[in-house]
Amino acid sequence: MNLLKDKIISEGIVLSDTVLKVDSFLNHQMDPQLMKAMGEEFAHRFAEDKITKVLTIESSGIAPALMAALTLNVPLVFARKQKSLTLREDLIVERVHSFTKQVTNDVTVSRKYLSPNDTVLIIDDFLAVGEAAQGLARITEQVGAKVAGIGIVIEKSFQTGRQTLIEAGYRVESLARIASLHDGSVQFIEE
Amino acid sequence: MNLLKDKIISEGIVLSDTVLKVDSFLNHQMDPQLMKAMGEEFAHRFAEDKITKVLTIESSGIAPALMAALTLNVPLVFARKQKSLTLREDLIVERVHSFTKQVTNDVTVSRKYLSPNDTVLIIDDFLAVGEAAQGLARITEQVGAKVAGIGIVIEKSFQTGRQTLIEAGYRVESLARIASLHDGSVQFIEE
């Protein structure tokens, strides 16, 4: 998606060979027009998949997922992150380790908002090793719902996440695929 | 806003005389069409105020704030909540206690995304005692920017937040004002 790639080139900050900071338009400040365009692009790519629900994880996933849900005209559910949780019957809980932040969270969704009849589009801001997306997929499957696919804003294609998700049988649609962050410069995979 | 009030009546769960749970359309599952309508209503109410930025706090504030920012065609900044923080020069930090969740967080915004030239619309999901809104207002004023007003999705008018904010000189625009949650039933302030 060229609009997003242009934004990454002009405003992204390469902090290391593995970390790209996009606080100016995605993770702290947000560009609403870009969010809308990204949501529409996700909706377009999954237009034939009879999506009934979009699932994401707080906080940076909410904006692109909301715009996708708006375009698809289905509800959005955002999973909560909690440090650790007392077990509650009404919650589905998966433990997820964040590669980027080096923290482990319990990711939770209420059983009320996913049903076996749902076809779910999972959306997240970044894909690195794929832990968050896998956690959301496991949550979806625990209730017997179907994962239609995983929509990612920025994929770090030099990490293992995409491969892991594809080997697990998931369709992955990323709006920007980054081949490398070497030498402070962003190289995309051209598609 | 009648669309919101209808949703509160049909789906809100009164947990106590002070706590209203709206997980089905605002705090866990979200209704994107309702979020869009609420964002447009905020934008309409502040249409003459030359807003340059919308400021909210993760996570439930993001969706209505994003829709307001989209309609006003300005960037959205969402403040981060952190348990406690090592001081960093580039961050503005305010300590905020949540009445509803009974936790204290450091609320942070990067200095990069607010400037003295900004006119800021603050948006949050709930107003109880007003701690979060005041924290966001202090952050805005610390950089020398102007607070145009505070937009709230659900105001608990039986708590002190609105009065506190108005006495501090802020304009408060709430989409639903709840007079009482007594006896498990929601009573609105009619306007």
ipTM of this predicted complex? 0.96
At residue A161 the predicted structure's pLDDT band, cuts being 50, 70 and 90, is very high
The 10s digit of each residue's pLDDT in B12-44 is: 999 999 999 999 999 999 999 999 999 999 999
Q: In the prediction, which pLDDT does A177 show?
A: 98
Average pLDDT over residues B129-141: 97
Distance between CA B77 and CA B137 in Å, rounded? 13
Domain count, chain A: 1
Mean pLDDT (whole number) for B145-154: 98
3-state class (DSSP) for residue B97: strand
What average pLDDT score do residues B73-96 get? 87
What is the enclosing helix (H) or strand (E) of B105?
strand B103-110
Q: Does the distance separating the beta carbons of A70 and B30 come in below 8 Å?
A: no
pLDDT at site A84 = 67
The answer to whether residue A72 scores a pLDDT higher than 70 is: yes
Q: How high is the pLDDT of residue B116?
A: 97
Q: What is the pLDDT of residue B98?
A: 83
Average pLDDT over residues A6-11: 98
The residue among A189 and A102 whose pLDDT is bigger is A189
Tokens of B53: 């930025």
Q: Which residues share a beta bridge with B76?
A: A30, B54
| Structural domain range at position B126 | 2-76+113-188
**CATH classification at residue B45:** 3.40.50.2020
Q: Are strands B119-127 and B53-57 parallel, antiparallel or unpaired?
A: parallel
**Average pLDDT for chain B:** 95
In angstroms, rounded to a whole number, what is the distance separating the alpha carbons of residues A151 and A46?
Answer: 9
The verdict on a CB contact (< 8 Å) between A30 and B77 is: yes
Q: Reply yes or no on whether the pLDDT at B85 is more than 70.
A: no
pLDDT value at position B59? 94
Helices (H) then strands (E): counts for chain B: 5, 11
**Cβ–Cβ gap A58/B58 under 8 Å:** yes
Percent of chain B with pLDDT over 90: 91
pLDDT band at B82 (very low <50, low <70, confident <90, very high): confident
What per-residue confidence (pLDDT) applies to B11?
A: 97
Chain A's closest residue to B58, CA to CA, is A59
Q: Residue A99: what pLDDT?
A: 75
The mean per-residue pLDDT over the stretch B96-108 comes to: 87
Question: With 90 as the cut, is the pLDDT of residue A191 above it?
Answer: no
What are the residues of chain B with a beta carbon less than 8 Å away from any beta carbon of chain A? Answer: 23-24, 28-33, 35-36, 58-59, 62-63, 66-67, 69-70, 73-78, 80, 109-110, 112-113
Q: Does A190 count as an annotated binding residue?
A: no
pLDDT for the residue B7: 98
pLDDT tens by residue, B5-16:
999 999 999 999
In a domain, A118, yes or no: yes
Q: Is residue B92 part of a domain?
A: no
How would residue B87 be classed by pLDDT, with cut points 50, 70 and 90?
low
Cβ <8 Å between B70 and A23: no
pLDDT of residue B89: 77
Q: Do A32 and B76 touch (CB under 8 A)?
A: yes
Answer yes or no: is A127 within a domain. yes
Question: Distance from B36 to chain A by nearest Cα, in Å?
Answer: 8
Picking from B81, B102, B97, the residue whose alpha carbon sits closest to that of residue A81 is B81
Cross-chain Cβ contact A29/B76 below 8 Å: yes
For B79, which DSSP code? Answer: E
B91 found inside a domain: no
| B50: helix, strand or coil | coil
Mutation site for B-interface testing, chosen from A29, A40, A52, A83 by largest number of B Cβ within 10 Å: A29
CA separation for the pair B50, B29 (Å, rounded): 32
Residue A90 lies in a domain: no
CB contact under 8 A, B30 and A66: yes
Within-domain flag for B120: yes
What CA dihedral angle connects B168, B156, A91 and A77, to 10 degrees?
-80
The pLDDT assigned to B99 comes to: 75
pLDDT at position A115, please? Answer: 97
Size of interface A-B (CB pairs under 8 A): 97
Q: Which residues of A touch B28 (CB under 8 A)?
A: 77-78, 80, 109-110, 113
Question: Chain B partners of A66 at a C-beta cutoff of 8 Å?
Answer: 30, 32, 35, 62-63, 66-67
Please report, for chain A, how many H helices and E strands are present, in that order.
Answer: 5, 11
Closest by alpha carbon to A13, among A35, A34, A29? Answer: A29
Burial class (CB in 10 A: 0-12, 13-18, 19+), B117: exposed
Is residue B19 one of the residues assigned to a domain?
A: yes
- Looking at the DSSP bridge assignments, the partners of residue A94 are A107
Which tokens is B31 given?
A: 């209704």
Of the residues B26, B27, B28, the best mutation for testing chain A's interface (the one with the most A CB atoms within 10 Å of its CB) is B28
Using pLDDT thresholds of 50, 70 and 90, give the confidence band for residue A101.
confident
A129 marked as binding residue: yes
Inter-chain contact A113–B28, Cβ cutoff 8 Å?
Answer: yes
Q: What is the pLDDT of residue B64?
A: 98
Quote the pLDDT of residue A74: 98
> Which one, of A18, A14, A22, lies nearest residue A186 by Cα?
A14
- B128 DSSP 8-state letter: S
Q: How far apart are CA A68 and CA A50, in angstroms?
A: 13
Distances A180 to A1, A4, A22 between C-alpha atoms, Å:
17, 16, 16
Of A28, A29, A66, the CB nearest to B63: A66
Q: What pLDDT, on a 0 to 100 scale, did the predictor assign at position B191?
A: 76
Of A28, A76, A110, the CB nearest to B113: A28
Peptide bond into B16 cis (omega under 30): no
In chain A, the residue whose alpha carbon lies closest to the alpha carbon of B37 is A70
The residue in chain B having the minimum alpha-carbon distance to the alpha carbon of residue A110 is: B28
Q: Would B16 be classed as within a structural domain? A: yes
pLDDT digits (tens, 9 = 90+) for A41-63: 999 999 999 999 999 999 999 99
Residues A124, A149 contacting (CB under 8 angstroms)? no
Cis peptide before B60 (omega within 30 of 0): no
Token pair recorded at residue A86? 């007392």
The arithmetic mean of pLDDT across residues A111-119, rounded, is 97
